[in-house]
């Protein structure tokens, strides 16, 4: 069975020797991969009415982008820095603490965040001192905008592109494989 070329990264942007031959195509392929592999899974959880899964997956996707942004592992500094740079109206430290640490690892949020569903009018409202309300659909839309901002900067910022390539070379990305390819004849 052939690989699904529509979701492979890197694909046509590299030659057989593993050298990048077209940097803009590299970014295009990464964006397509990200949209088809990661955004589509998050969208599915929202469309199916799952309540906590979208927040967990978005937080993991932010972590994923942070590793490309820095070219290294995500840290307690780089995650909030990425949020502060690419998200409008969010405090990176709060998202790091409440979503990335508490929601992802403990399936809960702390005293600085409230999550809700189907309450778009409450999204990004504050409820007291440093308490943010997040509505899943709007948070997802804000995440897409942040991703788009990062991708646009990646296209023109040589340092970001170097970080991105370093991250791919160090850790790779999750790609589809046909299970039959793992079986010996």
Q: How much is the pLDDT for 1?
A: 36
pLDDT reading at 55 higher than 80: yes
Q: What is the mean pLDDT of residues 84-101?
A: 90
Q: How much is the pLDDT for 144?
A: 98
pLDDT reading at 176 higher than 60: no
Q: How much is the pLDDT for 8?
A: 67
Tell me the per-residue pLDDT of 134-148, one tens digit each, with 9 for 90 and over. Answer: 888 999 999 999 999
pLDDT reading at 88 higher than 50: yes
CB 98 within 8 A of CB 119: no
Q: Please name every residue paired with 114 in a beta bridge, in sequence order, or none if there are none.
A: 133
- Residue 5 — pLDDT band, cuts 50, 70, 90? very low
Please report, rounded to a whole number, the percentage of residues in the chain having pLDDT higher than 90.
45
The span from the CA of 128 to the CA of 16, in Å, is 57
Q: Does the predicted TM-score (pTM) go above 0.75?
A: yes
| Rounded (10°) CA dihedral 97, 105, 47, 36 | 90
Q: What is the mean pLDDT of residues 85-113?
A: 85
The span from the CA of 4 to the CA of 132, in Å, is 40
In the chain, DSSP assigns E strands to: 113-116, 132-135
User: Bigger pLDDT: 19 or 75?
Assistant: 75
């Amino acid at each position: 069975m052939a690989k699904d070329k529509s979701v492979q990264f890197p694909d046509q942007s590299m030659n057989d020797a593993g050298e990048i031959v077209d940097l803009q195509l590299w970014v295009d392929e990464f964006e397509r991969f990200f949209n088809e592999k990661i955004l589509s899974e998050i969208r599915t959880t929202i469309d199916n009415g799952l309540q906590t899964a979208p927040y967990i997956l978005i937080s993991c996707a932010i972590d994923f982008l942070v590793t490309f942004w820095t070219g290294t592992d995500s840290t307690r500094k780089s995650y909030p820095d990425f949020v502060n740079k690419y998200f409008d109206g969010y405090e990176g430290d709060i998202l790091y603490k409440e979503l990335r640490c508490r929601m992802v690892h403990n399936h809960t949020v702390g005293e600085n965040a409230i999550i809700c569903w189907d309450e778009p009018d409450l999204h990004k409202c504050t409820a007291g001192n440093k308490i943010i309300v997040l509505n899943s659909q709007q948070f997802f839309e804000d995440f897409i905008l942040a991703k788009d901002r990062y991708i646009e900067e990646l296209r023109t910022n040589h340092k970001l592109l170097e970080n991105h390539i370093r991250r791919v070379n160090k850790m790779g990305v999750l790609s589809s494989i046909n299970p039959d390819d793992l079986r010996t004849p």
